[in-house]
Amino acid sequence: MHAFLDDLITLLKLERIEDNIFRGESRDIGSPQVFGGQVLGQALSAAQHTVEGRVAHSLHAYFLRRGDINARIVYEVDRSRDGGSFSNRRVVAIQHGRPILNLAASFQTPEEGLEHQAPMPDVPGPDGLRSLHEFASDLPDSVPMKMRRFLTEKRPFEFRPVRPLEFEARQRLEPSAHVWIRAMGELPDDQSLHQNLLAYVSDYELLGVSTLPHGLSFIRDNVIMASLDHALWFHRRVRMDEWHLYSIDSPNASGARGLSRGQFFSADGKLVASTSQEGLVRVVDPNAARQRSHPREQG
């Protein structure tokens, strides 16, 4: 298994402190705070540790404060309900005595039912597309160092965007994107693990699509972006060590917030998960942007 993927799996397992309390480490992936997908994946993992025989079908989370990369995160689970077919859990992620994320997750005993789904977008497959790492090797000198590090950091997933990346272009584009994603190695047949990994990777690319119609880029200092909430629905079994198309669109931006939606399709066209996220998208003076506190710190 790829070393970075093995490390991520270890990161998502968590340490059990008591029956309903868990603790996790963080990893620096080049962003100024803990990656939101990491907290999502760990919070879901904490909830999964308190459920038996049922699989997650949805989660809803609010990001409250930025996470400190250098501090452990404590996850407290409330076993809200265990019914005949469904279980519900509430999770609070805590650092320095304050919550940084609230999450609710619902689990269901697997059963058969009606079947239909949205069609998979007609886009080129992953073969022949350049990876994000290959695009990052062509970064222009104008890209800030902190963003250069974020884009070139080695990751447990391979990303192959369908549309070539333009780091300096300012043209206005349609608010949509498609990227192929696959874990960097073979994984065990553990559906909870694959769901954790999908939750982790679902925070990539999502909010940035809301800036495309405005000719803006998250690599510039005059755009402040931060995830506010995140929802995820699991429709079918998923294997994150196989190629999946992440299809994203943004139906709205207003009030200094952008809304993005995503769908994960397996290579054979099955819709395995859907997600949505709203986040802060604020255009400010570059000097003010560097001095402004991160919204998750303001509470």
The CATH number of the domain holding residue 229 is 2.40.160.210
* CB 187, CB 143: distance < 8 Å: no
Q: Is residue 119 part of a domain?
A: no
Q: Is residue 63 part of a domain?
A: yes
Q: Is 285 a catalytic residue?
A: no
Q: Is residue 252 part of a domain?
A: yes
Query: DSSP assignment, residue 292?
Result: S
Give the highest mean pLDDT range of 32-41, 164-173, 241-250.
Answer: 241-250
Which one of the listed residues 33, 38, 210, 227 is annotated catalytic? 227
CA distance 178 to 28: 26
pLDDT confidence of 215, banded at 50, 70, 90?
confident
Is the pLDDT at 139 greater than 70? The verdict is no
The total number of structural domains that make up the chain: 1
Q: Is residue 118 part of a domain?
A: no
Q: Is 138 a catalytic residue?
A: no
In this structure, is the dihedral angle defined by the CA atoms of residues 130, 134, 138 and 142, taken in order, positive or negative? Answer: positive
Q: What is the pLDDT of residue 171?
A: 78
Q: What is the pLDDT of residue 209?
A: 93
Q: What is the pLDDT of residue 148?
A: 62
Q: What is the pLDDT of residue 295?
A: 44
Residue of 209 and 146 predicted with greater confidence = 209
Residue 198 sits in which domain range? Answer: 3-109+129-298
What is the helix (H) or strand (E) element at residue 146, kind and residue range? helix 145-152
Q: What is the pLDDT of residue 293?
A: 39
Please give the angle made by the CA atoms of 264, 41 and 22, to the nearest 5 degrees. Answer: 160
Token pair for 49? 């540790």
Is the pLDDT at 123 greater than 60? The verdict is yes
Q: Is residue 214 part of a domain?
A: yes
Is the pLDDT at 298 greater than 60? The verdict is no
pLDDT confidence of 290, banded at 50, 70, 90?
very low
Q: Is residue 268 part of a domain?
A: yes
Residue of 150 and 11 predicted with greater confidence = 11
Please give the angle made by the CA atoms of 217, 28 and 56, to the nearest 5 degrees. Answer: 85
Q: Is 203 a catalytic residue?
A: yes
Q: What is the pLDDT of residue 224?
A: 86
Q: What pTM did the predictor assign? A: 0.89
CA distance 75 to 105: 13
Average pLDDT over residues 190-206: 96
Residue of 150 and 207 predicted with greater confidence = 207
Q: Is residue 49 part of a domain?
A: yes
Q: What is the pLDDT of residue 276?
A: 98
Which one of the listed residues 42, 48, 202, 203 is annotated catalytic? 203
Is the pLDDT at 28 greater than 90? The verdict is no
CA distance 243 to 221: 33
CA distance 115 to 228: 32
Q: Is residue 122 part of a domain?
A: no
Within 10 Å of residue 179's Cβ, how many Cβ atoms? 22
Q: What is the pLDDT of residue 146?
A: 58
